[in-house]
Amino acid sequence: MTPAFAFANVTIRELSPVPVAMLSHVGHPAGIAASVERFIALRKAAGLRPPESATYNVYRIGPSDAAPERFRMDLCAGTNGRREVLEGLTLGEIPGGRRAVLRVTGPEALLEAAIPWLRRDWFVRSGETLGDFPAYCQRVAMPPQVRATAMVSDLFLPLRPR
């Protein structure tokens, strides 16, 4: 059964750039858990702990976009403006601009279903033009603060300026 997402729940917002420290996962999605564990250890060592440091996932190449071994997702922690070198992490930025935003509450599978829905169903009917950055999400509430079935994520689809 495909989850139902509502067009009325998508808002357009103008966002500021977000400086981040990131670790890229490249390879089969089955290996993401090991990358997440490494990312958590590196961000803790750097003092970038949630909730003071926001958590983002940037979906560079999704599992449905290419062969599984080409899957790429950047695991990111907001740096709150810190620019020093962080061991094992790359400094970068999630650019600012116009975004279509959809809040997703529920398990990871629901977020995974929301990404193609926002790109395909909402976007096609929106009259908007895609921006130059991939879709990404901010993890608003995640384990261990909440149960995995009660996670909250804001999904962002970059749009061109009007």
In DSSP notation, 92-160 reads: EEE--EEEEEEEEES-HHHHHHHHHHIIIIIHHHH---B-SS--EEEEEE-TTTS-GGG-EEEEEEEB-
Q: What is the pLDDT of residues 33-85, one digit of tens each?
A: 999 999 999 999 999 998 889 999 999 876 666 677 778 999 999 998 887 87
Class at the top of the CATH hierarchy for domain 10-158: alpha beta
Domain ranges of the chain: 10-158
Q: What is the pLDDT of residues 5-29, one digit of tens each?
A: 999 999 999 999 999 999 999 988 8
What pLDDT does 66 receive?
A: 65
Collapse the DSSP code of 44 into the 3-class scheme (helix H, G, I; strand E, B; otherwise coil) and give the result. Answer: helix
pTM: 0.92
Q: Are 14 and 161 in contact (CB under 8 A)?
A: no
